[in-house]
Amino acid sequence: MLLEEMAWPDVEQYLAHDQRLILVTGSFEQHGRHLGEGTDRITAETIARRLGEETGVPVAPAVPFGMSLHHMKFPGTISLKPATLTMVIVDVITSVYAHGFRRLFIVNGHGGNKGAIEAALAETTNSLPGLRVKVGHWWQEAAVDEYLRRTFGGTEYHASVAETSVMLAVRPQAVHMDRAVAAKVYGGLLYSSAELFRQHYPDGAAGLDPRQASSEAGEHLISLVVAAYKTQMESWDD
Ligand SMILES: [Zn+2]
């Protein structure tokens, strides 16, 4: 169920029996030499839509831009400032709350969005009575992390094996495997300047070798994360 395909009477009817809604936050930024710039939105949106199909909960349109200032030295990246992204998320939540949505699940596709999401939630959960929000940074979900460590010997950081696998499964035309190179191991530079980021990661990717990626692994990752979120969507008391 996509909110963009529902008319207002459909939304009204849904709200009469359920207050849950799935939100999506993406980014538009470089993803190494081999992945499309829309990767973070496409992966998060895919997970959110499957979650919506399995739970019957509508999915709001994705916020397509994220906080990507540290990727600005690579061509194509479009970034919001942290304060702008925070305000966008606050306004989206305030809007859906006004209509009666009270249980929000945010599927986030980009690590650089975390600070803005937390700031937006600190504000809205304190100003909007009865609002409950859960956030899933999909590549860090426990089952995903465990699978990546067991299968590939590490965890995802940026444009490495997990993102590449999911993209091979859902948007192969945005994956250029002939240009994938071994990514440099992540060294904890998420909040570095754009200059320093490019210096440290000249190809743009960091983490596990994306050449190990496969569409089968991508499908498996999606099913792991959707199953975990489905359980989390059932209870809002923890
Ligand atoms: Zn990404």
pLDDT digits (tens, 9 = 90+) for 29-59: 999 999 999 999 999 999 999 999 999 999 9
- Over range 104-110, report the average pLDDT: 98
Distance (Å) from CA 109 to ligand 1 centroid: 6
Considering just the CA atoms, what is the radius of gyration of the chain in Å? Answer: 18
Residue at token pair 């061509």: 75
Distance (Å) from CA 37 to ligand 1 centroid: 8
On the question of pLDDT at 186 being above 80, the answer is no
Residue type at position 161:
V
Q: Are 230 and 55 in contact (CB under 8 A)?
A: yes
On the question of pLDDT at 230 being above 90, the answer is yes
Distance (Å) from CA 44 to ligand 1 centroid: 9
Residue 184 banded pLDDT, cuts 50, 70, 90: confident
Determine the pLDDT at residue 182: 83
Distance (Å) from CA 204 to ligand 1 centroid: 11
Number of other residues whose CB lies within 10 A of the CB of residue 234: 9
Q: Are 47 and 222 in contact (CB under 8 A)?
A: yes
Distance (Å) from CA 98 to ligand 1 centroid: 31
Distance (Å) from CA 80 to ligand 1 centroid: 15
Distance (Å) from CA 99 to ligand 1 centroid: 32
Distance (Å) from CA 150 to ligand 1 centroid: 21
Distance (Å) from CA 127 to ligand 1 centroid: 31
On the question of pLDDT at 238 being above 70, the answer is no
On the question of pLDDT at 185 being above 80, the answer is no
Taking the domains of the chain in order of start, what are their residue ranges?
Answer: 3-233
Determine the CATH number of domain 3-233: 3.40.50.10310
Mean model confidence pLDDT for the chain: 95
Distance (Å) from CA 158 to ligand 1 centroid: 5
What's the longest Cα–Cα distance across the chain? 53
Distance (Å) from CA 13 to ligand 1 centroid: 36
Tell whether pTM > 0.85.
Answer: yes
pLDDT digits (tens, 9 = 90+) for 197-209: 899 899 999 888 9
